[in-house]
Chain A
Amino acid sequence: MRRFSINRLTSRLGAALLLGLLIGTVPARALCAERAATLEELQQKLDQSLKAIQELTERVRELEARQSGAAAGAAPAAGESSAPSAPEPTRLEAVEQQLEQLETANASRANDETGMPLHGFADVGVGTHNPINPDLEGFFVGNLDFYLTPRLSDRGRALFEMNTEVGAEGAVGVDLERAQIGYQLADQATLWLGRFHSPYGYVNTALHHGAWVNNSLRRPGFLQFEDSGGIVPAHTVGLWITGAPRVGSGKVQYDAYVGNSQQIIDGVLDMRNAGNAHGNLIVGGRLGYLFNAGAVEGLTLGVHAFNARIGDNAVPANMTRVFSYGGYAVYDTEQWENIAEVYLFDDEDLSGTSGTHHSHAGFVQLGYHASWGVPYARYELTSLDQADNYFAAQTSGFSYHRSALGLRFDLSADAAVKLELADTQLTDRSRIQYTQGLMQYAIRF
């Protein structure tokens, strides 16, 4: 009977142990509970060790007392402190201090500085028929954009943006859209070297390849990236210094850059990633002021300009001195995102006798942050002199105007759906007019 009851007790204890283990292995967050469990274990082991130390210390005292012939009553009782045991509280305090340091170090070690964070954006969409952009007809794959910012030194900076996109013929291409390595010279001066977005206007440096970041479904047509129909060099390979020092209640935003002058190859602007064999340079800059207080808080006003010698691969080849200047205004608040940019071109034919040509382009966009989404309206206009070789050599160098209405709706913090209805009228190379409907699903990760 006794053996049976003992066996039963043992088996019950074993079952309880199993249950306890099962309970102990169902944490809300496995990874974090594992770390907390490890800490718990360490604490328990430490407590047990302290207890063992105490017991051993008492035992040593008893033995010493017997050896010296002292009375049993002279041996200190368990837990009672006396002069010879003075080191024990100190040791206990030291152990407690070490435990606290271990806890703090463990909590601080949560800052994982190893590895390189990889983030990015992606978008897909569907569009109605249009005679100009076959890559936006039907269902289409947009971009898969990877953004890498390796953590360098305290002042070192690096940024790489790799974009995978599907061309008009369906070929998948990988483009190193941005590859810039920089150094923070001072609080408001960073020097970059590599391939970067040319600092002009607002859109080209505020809204990059990640479609999710942009409230509107797409950029203005003439400010698209080079391989998407843009006629202004969106990328430069060169050297760029930028900063935004505080002046008054706002900030002065400045940029200055120099790089390889672009070229036009088969109708598309090329930024000469592989170097510059001709010695032609693009030099440019931008200066703006961000109002940060008062009635115009959120308003930025600025001017920009660049000068470049841009050739093409026509037979015979043409060379044009492209001088573009203009201004921009942005009103960016929690309610509004209103943007206006204007570009003037005074281009000189360096290879022929056609002289200087004047053209202009611009857009205005009004966007409102409603509780349910961001509706926007935009008007774009280009008037490009077709006798200017710079525009004539580009497939997208035609004049047009476009009116668009759009809407951005956030499904979550990481995903947005955008809709746009646009009416476009070409005004020189052809007189095509078309209406286009587009939908885009854009995410960040």
Chain B
Amino acid sequence: MIPGSHKSLCWRTQFLCAALLGAGLLGAGGASGRNDDAVRLDQLPQQWRDDRGTPLALTALLGQRVVIAMAYTRCRTICPATIAELKRMQRTLDERGEAASFVIVGFDPDSDDPASWRQYRINHQLDRSNWHFLTGSRQETRQFAHQLGFDFWTYDTHVMHEPRLVVFDAQGRWRGAVNPSSGNWPALL
């Protein structure tokens, strides 16, 4: 009986250890907050056109940080504030001697075509080559927004949205998301 008990005990112990390990891994996954935020850059829609109408895939930006925001050209409050924070972020990175790509994806491809974004860049003096203003199809724009947590809806020519920006590291891994007006983005860099 004793040898049999010992064998069954070993199995039970091994099972408990495996279950403990599995539970711990599950717990670690939950505590790390892994959710839709764990999406990688290469898992996002890739068919975009920049403000010159040139096709641009997000994976072409791998190799340095990618900071992403969404906007529309007729926005008068939230988007200008977000752009102002992105400019501050650019200045901070310049002081550190670090590089990043800044990507602004248009909410409303029907109204904001590449030429609209081209003019927007000129009007707002956003001419650095590491800044990209992208236009996609309606479906890809919605998918992109949904994957990154940019909730929005359109009310005729208005786009209802919240301030948000997302940061990916140089390998395209999710670093985090923040309300830019909170000023808490330094932790993501």
Contact = CB atoms under 8 A, between A and B. Distances in A.
Contact of A210 (B37, B78, B113, B155): B155
A297 interface: yes
Interface string A4-33: 001001100110110011111111110111
B143 A369 contact: no
Tier of interface size on chain A: 35 or more
Contact of B153 (A6, A13, A33, A119): A119
B157 A206 contact: yes
B122 A14 contact: no
Interface in B127-147: 138-139, 142-143, 146-147
Given A33-B33, A35-B35, A413-B163, A24 B153 contact: no
A409 to B, nearest CB: 12
B64 interface: no
B137 to A, nearest CB: 8
B76 A413 contact: no
B37 A293 contact: no
Interface stretch (B21-29, B47-55, B90-98, B99-107): B21-29
Contacts of B35: 27-29, 31-33, 35-36
A413 to B, nearest CB: 5
Contact of A293 (B43, B122, B157): B122
A21 B23 contact: yes
A111 interface: yes
B43 A104 contact: yes
Given A13-B17, A36-B29, A107-B40, A20 B153 contact: no
Interface in A32-73: 32-33, 35-37, 40-41, 44
A154 interface: yes
Nearest to B138: A154
A110 interface: yes
Interface of A: 6, 9-10, 13-14, 16-17, 20-29, 31-33, 35-37, 40-41, 44, 103-104, 107-108, 110-112, 117, 119, 147, 149, 154, 159, 184, 187, 205-206, 208, 210, 213, 244, 246, 249, 292-293, 297, 332-334, 337, 369, 410, 413, 444
The 3 closest A-B pairs by CB, nearest first: A32-B35, A24-B27, A27-B30
